[in-house]
Amino acid sequence: MGGTMDGTKQQRRGDTRQRIQDVALALFAEQGYEKTSLREIAERLGVTKAALYYHFKTKEEIIVSLFEDLTRPLGELIEWGRQQPHTLETKQEIVRRYSEALAAAAPLFRFMQENQATVRELRIGDTFKSRMTGLRDIIIDPEARLTDQVRCVSALFTLHAGMFVMQDLEGDPEERRKAVLEVAIDLVTQAHQGAHGDA
Amino acid sequence: MGGTMDGTKQQRRGDTRQRIQDVALALFAEQGYEKTSLREIAERLGVTKAALYYHFKTKEEIIVSLFEDLTRPLGELIEWGRQQPHTLETKQEIVRRYSEALAAAAPLFRFMQENQATVRELRIGDTFKSRMTGLRDIIIDPEARLTDQVRCVSALFTLHAGMFVMQDLEGDPEERRKAVLEVAIDLVTQAHQGAHGDA
Amino acid sequence: MGGTMDGTKQQRRGDTRQRIQDVALALFAEQGYEKTSLREIAERLGVTKAALYYHFKTKEEIIVSLFEDLTRPLGELIEWGRQQPHTLETKQEIVRRYSEALAAAAPLFRFMQENQATVRELRIGDTFKSRMTGLRDIIIDPEARLTDQVRCVSALFTLHAGMFVMQDLEGDPEERRKAVLEVAIDLVTQAHQGAHGDA
Amino acid sequence: MGGTMDGTKQQRRGDTRQRIQDVALALFAEQGYEKTSLREIAERLGVTKAALYYHFKTKEEIIVSLFEDLTRPLGELIEWGRQQPHTLETKQEIVRRYSEALAAAAPLFRFMQENQATVRELRIGDTFKSRMTGLRDIIIDPEARLTDQVRCVSALFTLHAGMFVMQDLEGDPEERRKAVLEVAIDLVTQAHQGAHGDA
DNA sequence: CATGAATGAGTTTTCATTCAT
DNA sequence: TATGAATGAAAACTCATTCAT
């Protein structure tokens, strides 16, 4: 009992925490946070509920840990952005990298997009909001016309929408991602030129 | 006991159903559908949970009824749109009217925006999705370039974002609504001109 | 289905709250508060756990309600005591009546005696402590010698011990109660005379 | 890694069992037995729960071991008492020594005082009860009047109360201990004289 | 039109305990 | 001597729903 060579149970030693996160994220994204019970997560993993509590103190801690692990690149992007000059090139680069960060952690962002009410009540809510604000403030010129400010926010939102809502548009995913990115960059560009002279 | 003349309780005769809907929508929008219990709704109304069941067969029926009552104008808008020629003017008008429909039922749309995971599982999910698709198909030219299709979806999303996410932008609400509308119309216009050859 | 004349289920209509209190107190006194689960209470009553929650918001509320209902006479006794002159007769009367109050709510006091650690953490802890202090201050002369103060506290404690610890002494209960009361009154008398001259 | 010279961890080699007992007793006395979890004890010690199981087979064994270790003097006291003649001096000496034994193991006795319901269910319950009975039988004359028997039990109880309940009386602890002892001895003396002639 | 009383199925969480290493 | 990982059983509590009155 408990053979050593077969990978089924063996290779899992030590990575349970990771596996919990994976399964949890998949289920949270699919059904929502509240509708996903710990029983369900545990069952799908073939462990008991109590095992989850060995690795995470509460249900909330599971989603918080996911958020922290997966949005780290986003935090770094903002850090980077803050230190750049507010040129058009910087803004475009931000949009480009944000699009990549989004794609890299797609399931988490889908979850956050579709469970905003929940996220707002969770500890991560504020963190995320402040990050989005940080991002916004990098691409928005404070003295820009309101319309152009809207364009910037709209650019970010377009990226989000691109991930989750435009999936039934024609074309293959990569093509679509490019198109979405183009529109977003276009919006930021228009906003920048609106603010900086340019007939 | 149970005086007849004072307006406090009297006025309310017969409109209990309506009051349930109001309170429910407020709570659903504020805390999310799953986190709002019937007990909470009943308590805020000063009635018992059982009373809710006199007016609605299930919890889901409450949200469904809200959806049906409040999105009727949206259905009519789509109906109207379908019968118009697909000119730029029509598209712009659609966007303008959609913006109004959104504002008229803001709490419901906020709810739907922030509880997409929930909505998807509910009966209303499909209905809503098909409406959004209908709307999209009116403003999108099927033979347009992918980028321009994205612009159209983005226009709709900008309107949504305008309602719920851009509230911390400067300016008073009315000004903001106009700016948002301007950007949306602009997106649709760009898309249309991209598709219909122009200078 | 649901006959009308047999008393088994019928006469219980409306007194469920009372029955919960009765069963709960019996179990709390027998096994302690923490070791008594709501499941156990519910089972013994032939209802579901959820039914308990219809009548009491939490487990703690059950014991709090018992405490409030059953110690009311004690509160009144203290009120009465405060308004009397601090004569020996008053003190003796207090002891006598306290003994009666104790006997009248014996299971509750047994519970509190045997679960002091629990009681301390519960909401009732402070209330009870302040009552005991109030009682003490009526029978203690603040300027009395320390020994006599101790005698007064000891008198109260003797009454408690009489209820729960001396049950294996010889004699029938009534006789024992009298003997305990005599010793307690004696202690208070000694204390009073120690403080007020008297060879 | 894991230096050898600093006393922090080194001193502790071998005395883990003792340290578990110390921490456990402190927590049991403070919060009660049931409300104290092994996790809490382990955390406070900086070890894992499993380490506790190396030293004690069960949670109950921890409290049992404490009881056995700390009440040994009490057992010897009773042994000694049984072999003495039942004179007044012996009784007074018993009370005096009991008071000391109580003070020497105050936290344990506080625990037992405040968790009687728990203690009763534990293995130590019977042992302790039989000891108290043993003690009682030494200072009680079986042919004494009921009142005087009560006085003897009351004397013991007064000692207990003196440890835990009278802490908010005036005076410094040592003074208080003496006063309590005086009252207890007085009670035993009265009882003895009541039984042995004396007008 | 509405309530009082209750239920069944579920939730998150905690706990003492085990065991291979 | 100890730990890391896990379990089984149970706890308190919540919820949507039902139904006789």
Do the chains contact at B169 and A154, CB–CB below 8 Å?
no
pLDDT for residue C1: 35
pLDDT > 90 in chain C, percent: 81
Distance CA A146, CA A160 (A): 21
Question: What value does the mean pLDDT of chain D take?
Answer: 90
Q: With CA atoms as reference, report the closest residue to B66 among B102, B17, B129, B99.
A: B17
Which residue blocks in chain C are alpha helix, DSSP H?
7-10, 16-31, 38-45, 49-55, 59-70, 72-83, 88-104, 106-114, 116-121, 124-139, 146-164, 173-195
Q: Is the pLDDT of residue B7 over 80?
A: no
In this prediction the pTM is 0.90
Higher pLDDT, A153 or A8: A153
Measured between CA atoms, how close is A50 to chain B, in angstroms? 24
Protein-nucleic contacts, chain B 40-59 to strand F, CB < 7 Å: 49-50, 53, 57-59
Residue D6 has pLDDT above 60, yes or no: no
Band the pLDDT of D196: cuts 50, 70, 90. Answer: confident
State yes or no: pLDDT of D85 exceeds 70. Answer: yes
| Mean pLDDT of the region B99-109 | 93
Domain residue ranges of chain B, discontinuous segments joined by +: 7-57, 63-197
Q: Which of D133, D147, D165 faces C153 most closely, judged by CB atoms? A: D165
Disruptive mutation site among A28, A150, A170, A181 for chain B (greatest number of B CBs within 10 Å)? A150
- Whole-number Å distance, CA B59 to C1' F17? 10
- Structure confidence at residue D198 (pLDDT): 55
B59/F13 CA-to-C1' distance in Å: 21
Q: Please report which confidence band the pLDDT of residue A2 belongs to, taking 50, 70 and 90 as the band edges.
A: very low
Quote the pLDDT of residue D12.
Answer: 53
Our measurement of CA B103 to C1' F15, in angstroms, reads: 33
With an 8 Å Cβ cutoff, the interface of chain B facing chain A consists of 31-35, 111, 113-118, 120-121, 133, 145-147, 149-151, 153-154, 157-158, 161-162, 165-166, 168-171, 175-176, 179-180, 182-183, 187
Does position C2 have pLDDT exceeding 50, yes or no? no
Report the C-alpha gap between C123 and C110 in whole angstroms: 18
User: CB of C59 under 7 A from strand F?
Assistant: yes
Give the minimum alpha-carbon distance from A180 to chain B in angstroms, rounded to a whole number.
6
pLDDT, tens digit, 9 for 90 and up, residues A107-130? 999 999 999 999 999 999 999 989
Q: Considering only CA atoms, which residue is closest to the C1' of nucleotide E11?
A: A37
pLDDT at A199: 45
Report the residue of chain B nearest A154, measured CA to CA. Answer: B158
Question: In chain A, which residues have their Cβ closer than 8 Å to the Cβ of B120?
Answer: 114
Q: What is the pLDDT of residue D195?
A: 79
Q: What is the pLDDT of residues B137-154, one digit of tens each?
A: 999 988 899 999 999 999
**pLDDT category of residue B197 using cuts at 50, 70 and 90:** low
Let me know: does A70 contact A107? Beta carbons within 8 Å. no
- Which pLDDT score, from 0 to 100, does residue D121 have? 92
Return d(Cα D59, Cα D64) in angstroms, integer: 9
Nucleotide closest to residue A15 (CA–C1'): F5
pLDDT tens digits, A32-55: 999 999 999 999 999 999 999 999
The CATH-assigned architecture of domain C7-57 is Orthogonal Bundle (1.10)
Local confidence band at C4 (pLDDT 50, 70, 90 cut-offs): very low
Q: pLDDT higher for D167 or D155?
A: D155
Q: Can you give the pLDDT at residue D197? A: 66
Is strand F within 7 Å of residue A2 (CB)? no
